[in-house]
Amino acid sequence: MYNVAIIGAGQLGSRHLQAMKTASSSLNIWVMDNHEESLKVAKQRYEEIPMIGEKSIEYVGSIDLLPQQLDLVIIATGSKPRASIVKKLLECSKVKYLVLEKVLFPQISDYEEIENLLKKNQVLTWVNCPRRMFGMYQEIKKHIDHTVPIEISYEGENWGLCCNAIHMIDLFMYFTGETQYTLDLSSLTDSIEESKREGYVEMTGTINIKTPHGNTLRLTSMNGFKGAPGLVIKNKDNKIFVDEAKGEWNINEEQHLYCLPYQSQLTGIVTDEILKTGGCMLTPFELSSLYHQPIIRSLLEKYNKLINDYNNKILPIT
């Protein structure tokens, strides 16, 4: 049996746990969280799901109570403690594979430090930006002509522009095949809003992104946005519209239906792929780090200007 662990048993971590119960692999599962109430909720949610394959489970309140040999670990905490958790985990355990939640880290210096640590400990790592796993987006990619620029926009009301932009950037890079981009934040509003998660913030307005080959991404989140939120892709003669909430996409008015999977359906697939093949369709850490750093750096500059503290190094988004 494989030894696997989930660190962070909150809303997202408990969904990872539910999905892990559906993996076909035989697993010894450890769930770690230093909040007893989170472990209690995770346990309740785990018991709601039918078991596939052989599983055992333990709930612990400290990283040093995890096994010294772990095949796979998922870190599903908020962004602020994530770098320190990775360091502590690799001090206590030998880890073969690692999956990290986004936003990876709120401090730029963490990216190089953690990348070097992962290489030193030979830990294969991915970041949970799962849209590239979806059959819908794999099919859409087949319709993209890379000889001409791609124009993509996503607009909606209060969808978490700062914390969720990386999902759209990851999808954008998946479509374009590029790894570099520049940002224009001049259309962001000059205000800071409280995030749904305590201790984190959000902003509204528009972020414009452009790659060296002229591909563009426009992300807009506004209070009181009118109209249906959705993703629009323009490329040569094709216009593609995706409405994830309705589970449909159309290309040049030709409609297609797609059942968008929940996290509680995805992690079991990822777990089996990683343990059985040593790989998965999630974004490798090194690539995701390249995608993260420009937007973290730019948003931090904007945030510091708004709070009038240019020495601050932490961007509190998750």
**Tokens standing for residue 30:** 């450890």
As a whole number, mean pLDDT of residues 148-174 equals 96
| Mean pLDDT score across all residues of the chain | 96
CATH number 3.40.50.720 is the correct assignment for the domain at 2-130+265-284: yes
What are the extents of the domains in the chain? Answer: 2-130+265-284, 135-260
**Tokens standing for residue 110:** 């963490």
**Phi/psi at 49 (nearest 5 deg)?**
-100, 130
Contact by Cβ (8 Å): 310, 102: no
As a whole number, mean pLDDT of residues 253-260 equals 93
- Using CA atoms, how far apart are residues 121 and 117, in angstroms rounded to an integer? 6
Domain 135-260 CATH superfamily: Dihydrodipicolinate Reductase; domain 2 (3.30.360.10)
Fold match between domain 2-130+265-284 and domain 135-260: no
Residue-wise pLDDT for 171-217, tens only, equals 999 999 999 999 999 999 999 999 988 899 999 999 999 999 999 99
The confidence band for 224, taking pLDDT boundaries of 50, 70 and 90, is confident
What is each CA distance from 229 to 129, 146, 157, 189, 241, in whole angstroms?
A: 20, 26, 7, 19, 10
Per-residue pLDDT at 176 = 97
**Tokens standing for residue 147:** 């000889």
The confidence band for 152, taking pLDDT boundaries of 50, 70 and 90, is very high
CA dihedral 273, 279, 283, 288 (to 10 degrees): 140
The confidence band for 126, taking pLDDT boundaries of 50, 70 and 90, is very high
Spell out the alpha helix ranges (H) of the chain.
11-20, 36-47, 82-92, 109-120, 135-142, 161-176, 263-277, 285-307
